[in-house]
Amino acid sequence: MSVYTPVTEAQLAEWLRGYSVGAPVGFEPIESGIENTNYFVTTGQGRYVLTLFERLPAGELPFYLELMAHLARHGIPSPAPIADLADRYLSRLNGKPAALVTRLPGKSVERPGERECAELGALLARMHLAGRSYGAYLDNPRGPKWWRSAARAVRPFLDFQALALLDEELRFQSLYRFPDLPRGPIHADLFRDNALFDGARITGVIDFYFAGVDCLLLDLAVCANDWCLVDAARNCRLDEAKTRALLAAYAALRPLVPLERGAWPVLLRAAALRFWLSRLYDLHLPRPGVLVHAHDPDHFRDILALRAGAGEAPWLE
């Protein structure tokens, strides 16, 4: 759990006076996330999520919130930001930028199968198609420029083998930029805990605060590296049936171009590198907080080593 900025009941009640959602009848910290402070908030009129943005640049926040609103208007089960009485999505609480969004129903699936992966693939394609009409632009904040910066910061904490893997992957990725691949707004962090299900149906896609404009295929790679593993706890290889289900359901709505098929193995590695670096950074260079949760970076080190090795078919012919 990550709570960097505690909020009291009295503070929340005063802040909500600036909204027309009613008085709070309950709130609790959310037991996940490492970037922002999040609370579930219940009022007499509904259920919401309160987010206090801890380190995202203020100039980036409208991109995320307006993207969520755009997708919700286009039928994507995205949280809808709530405007305050001054018609703003953003205000301040305890000195931090803060936003209130709708709380979506459902729960995450810890062990997705082929059916869940296919549902995710179709939803991701719909989201990318809806994103075509979103006019704002923000470069992927965790793209290659950030990789290089984060790599410099975590180098002192790595052993010889990890340094060799990191340096080789940075060199490898520097050979590819894919400027001609289809691009648009991507979620960039659509792990299992950021999708909500009711039975076999996705009822929510949450946590858009790493979103940005990048290769659409990168979103698929991020998903495959988390959803399509043989066993997330013991075997990080891609499961053929789940990977094929994800890709086929996606391509049925947004067919992949030949360049994307060639780029797929590279972007699987790029997605693994990005999350290995972010987990290393959060582990070794944590921010002070009341309750802070950091994920194990070795999980994505192992995924990267597998994706970079020979003999693993990516199942995108």
What are the residue boundaries of the structural domains of the chain, listed by start?
Answer: 17-102, 114-308
Nearest CA to 189 out of 223, 163, 156, 159 is that of 223
Pairing mode, strands 229-231 and 46-52: unpaired
Q: In which band, very low, low, confident or very high, does the pLDDT at 233 lie, cut at 50, 70 and 90?
A: confident
Say which residue, 313 or 132, is predicted with more confidence: 132
| pLDDT at residue number 232 | 87
Query: Mean per-residue pLDDT for 121-141?
Result: 97
Per the prediction, the chain carries an average pLDDT of 93
Amino acid sitting at position 222: V
Q: In which band, very low, low, confident or very high, does the pLDDT at 155 lie, cut at 50, 70 and 90?
A: very high
CA distance 9 to 22: 14
Which CATH number describes the domain made up of 114-308? 3.90.1200.10
**How many Å separate Cα 54 from the centre of its chain?**
16
Domains 17-102 and 114-308 share a fold: no
Q: In which band, very low, low, confident or very high, does the pLDDT at 311 lie, cut at 50, 70 and 90?
A: low
Residue 121 has pLDDT above 90, yes or no: yes
| pLDDT at residue number 253 | 98
Contact in structure between 24 and 45 (CB atoms under 8 Å): no
Q: In which band, very low, low, confident or very high, does the pLDDT at 1 lie, cut at 50, 70 and 90?
A: very low
Q: Which CATH number fits domain 17-102: 3.30.200.20, 3.30.565.10, 3.40.50.150, 3.50.50.60?
A: 3.30.200.20
pTM exceeding the 0.75 threshold for the entire prediction: yes
Q: In which band, very low, low, confident or very high, does the pLDDT at 4 lie, cut at 50, 70 and 90?
A: confident
Q: In which band, very low, low, confident or very high, does the pLDDT at 129 lie, cut at 50, 70 and 90?
A: very high
Contact in structure between 49 and 40 (CB atoms under 8 Å): yes
Q: In which band, very low, low, confident or very high, does the pLDDT at 30 lie, cut at 50, 70 and 90?
A: confident
- SS3 helix, strand, coil % of the chain, rounded to 5? 45, 20, 40
DSSP tally for the chain: helices H, then strands E: 9, 11
Residue 188 has pLDDT above 70, yes or no: yes
Query: Mean per-residue pLDDT for 97-121?
Result: 97
Query: Mean per-residue pLDDT for 107-133?
Result: 97
CA distance 116 to 228: 10
Query: Mean per-residue pLDDT for 175-179?
Result: 91
Contact in structure between 207 and 189 (CB atoms under 8 Å): yes
